[in-house]
Structures are given as structure tokens and as C-alpha cells.
Structure 1
């Protein structure tokens, strides 16, 4: 019989969230300790990529913590899905490495999750990123609604990763989406995501360095919507402080009259003013429309630290 280990006191908020967790059908976050609203749990997150529960710790954790998590998840899953096996993956990570372990059950292969009717491939057992960013749910919702009101829109999806924005734009009626990312492997998953959703045309996949491809991007425009969702720091690819201004100054020449740009930044070190001041200096002809709210599950003690998603519009 396994020894009973004491429950670490700082974990009580996370364990309470597990005890009351619903059974999600779409992928989503259930606990966001990173938002600073749960003292002692700042290093914890809990996500569900059905049917898999994913716990993530941004600092090392001991056996007592993992045992407490396992007990809590097993108990809750027995209530939510009697007779079904628990599937739980745990990742411990920092800025340079991630250690991911399957703690219970078996992760589906392939693993497909859904959001608002769209379906996406994810890969939990390896790497930092899982193929689908849960915190961008409001951005995808906005793109879906925005494009639905502008059928046939031409969209440029920069730093496209696995092309979730492209999928929802085409589902909403976009005429053409150009997906650009240096990572050819991510774009290949993006192509599979399109096929998974029955989207057999309307998208292009360009494995290019954006900063070396302005001529090609101009020839493909002008665009009614440009989505800019870069990493905040990726050595050799994009460093926000240095590279975002370079990108901003190109937006006016790529946008159609009345076109919109969706600018995203996920950096706790850079506030809203970084984007707003940069746009005022680099692209003063584009008007600020507003900031999108983040999903409630990603609530943060500071709007300045949280994900920033701003909408700008070109003049008519």
C-alpha cells in the first residue's frame, strides 16, 4: 500500500479547483496559478485537452505534490466519468527545458481536440508547446466573428504556428489565408488541421522568414485582416523589443483600406504601452480600435502582465 504523504499547503487552491472541475468537451484551462490570484500556486496550471488532464509546474515539485495531484484527479474523474480510466500528463518546465511524463492512462495518438466546432491536432507528451494555445480563445472568436461579417476577406496570418487562426477564418468565410512561419514542421501540422476540418482549399503555407519576405507578402496583398501572433522571445527568430517595431512599420503597406490588424503579445515584462507606443510611432495611420478581453480562465492580477491582444484599423 502506498504511503500517505502530507498535502503541501500551497496546493490547496489547485486541489479545490480539481475537486469542482467540470468535464470539458472542448480544450480549456481550469486553473491559472500564473495569474497570481492564488498565493502559493503561482507556478501551477491545470488544462484539459480531452480526454487528457495536463498539469504544469514552472518549478520543480516533489513526490508529495504529485501524489496529491494524482489522488485529487483520480477522485474527481471517478465522479465525472465512472468506469473510465484517468489520463493525466504532468510537465515540469522552466525557460530552457521541459520534462513531460504520462502519469496515468494513455494519451490518444493521434490526439484531436475541439474548440467552438473546430478541431485541432495536439501533442502533449513532448516539447514546450502543445500545438494549440488555449489563451488565444478570444482572439480566435474575434477572428471568426470579424471574418463572418466580411465574407471573402483576404487574411495574412503571421507567425502562423499550426494555423488555428487560418482554420477559423476559413470556416467563417475567408476567401484566402496566407500562413507564414519559419517552422516548416508547425506549418505541416497546420495543413493537417485544415484537412481535419474539411478545408481543402483557400490556404497557402509559406515556411519563410517574415523579415526576408516583405516583397512576396506585398504581392499577395493587400489584406483585409493581418494576424500578428509572434513569440515574445525566440532566439534567432523574434525578440519583441527589437523586432515588433520593424513589423509594425510594414503593416500600413500590407493592409487594404479599412483593413484590420490583430496584434498579440504574451510577455509579462512588456505592457500594453509597448504595443500602443510602438504603433503610434511606427504606423501612425492605423487607428486603435480596442483590446480584446482574455478568457476568464486566464484572469490575472495585472492586465499589464497578461496576454495583450489589440485591434487596429487602416483608414478608408
Structure 2
């Protein structure tokens, strides 16, 4: 816990959403269960194991002290999320959370919801991936698989994409995605398909081929996607949707599955894809074991 307090002394607060403390990277002994995120104007503290109330009080005091150093007497808004044993409990410890709550990232705005459920509407660890898509989408047709709230789509359109097709089983997430597009001035240019990807190849093929495909699936979500068996199914079909020399971003956020797992899946199922590079994660997400961190691999369709 003392390492958390010490690390907070180097924390600053900018105008954009970002992770401030990443204990899960294993760089702070005894703090591997802790993360601190900044969704302006709210701080979100998360514990991934059971902790006692006196520990919560200690962490709250550390955060409060640093807040006063940075913001003086401005009101602190602090949310605590406790994840343990498959259960998620979220509590507002201090202040309030705006409703609706919008945050900025790289020139775009996104709606988030810190008090509802485990996911908040914007995965901060994918910031570099979204930035890459923004930089490489000009005049391209983009397919956003497992689109969630469509952060990649917004960035693609900001980067000048001709069209984006978003598909996700969760119509609720896609509804927020539509709002994110309107929030950023995109009333057209994107499609939203609330379907099971594995049952929608015909529809996806109809709208293709695509110059850029992003696949950012959940790693272990029953009824949707389980990486150990479903990545192979996905990779068998993706090359047929990709334009010649088109780009493919494959994402995997499963600590138990290493980079070699994903590369082997591609080699076995999609030999027409050529590995280009691995995108670096934001610096705050540094992990002493890179295989446990978020993996974002870029492939390209080989010319025939």
C-alpha cells in the first residue's frame, strides 16, 4: 500500500481520460490488485481482490491528499469499484458523478458510466490502438468487430474513413456507440449491426471488402467469444473480408494467453496474413511480463 501512496506523488491530472496507476503490471509489490483511473472530473479506484475497509480508508486518504496538492479545495469526486469472486460492487465514496458523463480522448468525446456495471464505456488501455486507427483510416473502409461502444469507429471517422461497419451482439452498447458518433458530429458514415458475428458473414461480406479490420473481442465471455476456441473460427474467415494489402488489428487482453498463442493462431488459420508489428501500449500500462499485458498485433493481407 505504501508503494501506491508513493506512486501517487508522481501523478498529474490532465483534461483527458487516462489510467494513473496500474498495479496489475506487477511493478508495485503488494499493489497488484489496484488501479486508479481518471475520467474527468471523477477518479475511479478499482480493487481486483477483497480488501478490508481500513485499507479502503487508507487508499482514500492517499488520494485525497494528492488531490488537495493538485486541486486545492476543489471537490473530489471518487468512485470505488470492488471486483472479487466474479462479483462487482461499485460505490460513490465522495462527491458526485455527472449524468450524462462525457470524457475526452485525442480530439474525441465519449460517454462513460462509472456507476453501472464492470465496464465503463471506454477501455483506457486501448488508447494507443484507437490513435493508430485514427492515423491510418483516411479514405478507407473499416470493419469494427466486437465494436462495443464504437470507440474505434469514431476515431476512424475522425481520421477520414469513407465508411465504418460496426458489429456487436450487445445492442445496448451499440446504442451508446451511436450516441458517441452524434456527440462527435458524425450523423452518417457508420453502420451499426446488432448481430452475432459468427452468424453474419454474409452481411459482412456484402458490405466489404475492407481496407482495415479491427478485431477486439472479449477473451472469455460465454455465449459471445472464448479466445481459446473462437479466435481460430474468426481467423478462418477474416482474410476473405480483407482487401488486398489491407490492414488487420488483432487484439487480445488475456493474461493467461501469450503473444505466441495469437501468432500461432494466425499461422495455422490465416497463412495469407503477414505480421507487420506489435503496437505499444500506453506507458502507464507497462507490465514486467509483456505476455500478460494487452496485445495488439498488426497484420497485412499479402498480395496474391
In structure 2, the CA distance between the partners of 1:242 and 1:120, relative to structure 1 (3 Å rule), is same
Is 1:189 the counterpart of 2:176? The answer is yes
Is 1:15 the counterpart of 2:5? The answer is yes
In structure 2, the CA distance between the partners of 1:300 and 1:186, relative to structure 1 (3 Å rule), is same
Deviation per residue, 1:10-49 (Å, 9 max, x gap): x011112223320221111111111111111111011110
Distance 2:263 2:151 in 1: 25
- The match for 2:140 is 153
Deviation per residue, 1:163-222 (Å, 9 max, x gap): 000000000000000000000000000000001111111001000000000011001100
Distance 1:54 1:16 in 2: 18
* TM-score, L = length of structure 2: 0.98
Is 1:76 the counterpart of 2:62? The answer is no
Give ranges in structure 2 of 5+ residues lacking alignment.
none
Distance 2:279 2:301 in 1: 18
Is 1:202 the counterpart of 2:202? The answer is no
Residue 75 of structure 1 deviates from its aligned partner by 1.6
Is 1:306 the counterpart of 2:296? The answer is no
Deviation per residue, 1:267-288 (Å, 9 max, x gap): 0111111111111111101111
Select the residue among 20, 33, 39 that pairs with 2:23: 33
Select the residue among 144, 155, 158 that pairs with 1:168: 155
Distance 2:7 2:172 in 1: 35
Distance 1:129 1:276 in 2: 27
Residue 95 of structure 1 deviates from its aligned partner by 5.4
Q: Is the 8 A contact 1:156 1:178 kept in 2?
A: yes
- The match for 1:290 is 277
Q: Is the 8 A contact 1:19 1:72 kept in 2?
A: no
> Alignment length, in residue pairs?
303
In structure 2, the CA distance between the partners of 1:185 and 1:132, relative to structure 1 (3 Å rule), is same
In structure 2, the CA distance between the partners of 1:176 and 1:134, relative to structure 1 (3 Å rule), is same
Distance 1:68 1:91 in 2: 15
Is 1:127 the counterpart of 2:114? The answer is no
- The match for 1:247 is 234
Distance 1:19 1:293 in 2: 25
State the secondary structure of the residue aligned to 1:42.
coil
After superposing the two structures, state which structure 1 stretch, 89-98 or 133-142, moved more: 89-98
* TM-score, L = length of structure 1: 0.94
- The match for 2:34 is 44
- The match for 1:6 is none
After superposing the two structures, state which structure 1 stretch, 110-119 or 18-27, moved more: 18-27
Select the residue among 128, 137, 140 that pairs with 2:130: 140
- The match for 1:315 is 302
- The match for 1:261 is 248
Select the residue among 197, 207, 213 that pairs with 1:220: 207
- The match for 1:177 is 164
Distance 1:83 1:194 in 2: 35
Residue 301 of structure 1 deviates from its aligned partner by 0.9
Runs of 4+ in 1 over 4 A off after TM superposition: none
Distance 2:85 2:209 in 1: 37
* CA RMSD across the alignment: 0.9
Give ranges in structure 1 of 5+ residues lacking alignment.
1-10
State the secondary structure of the residue aligned to 1:74.
helix
State the secondary structure of the residue aligned to 2:290.
coil
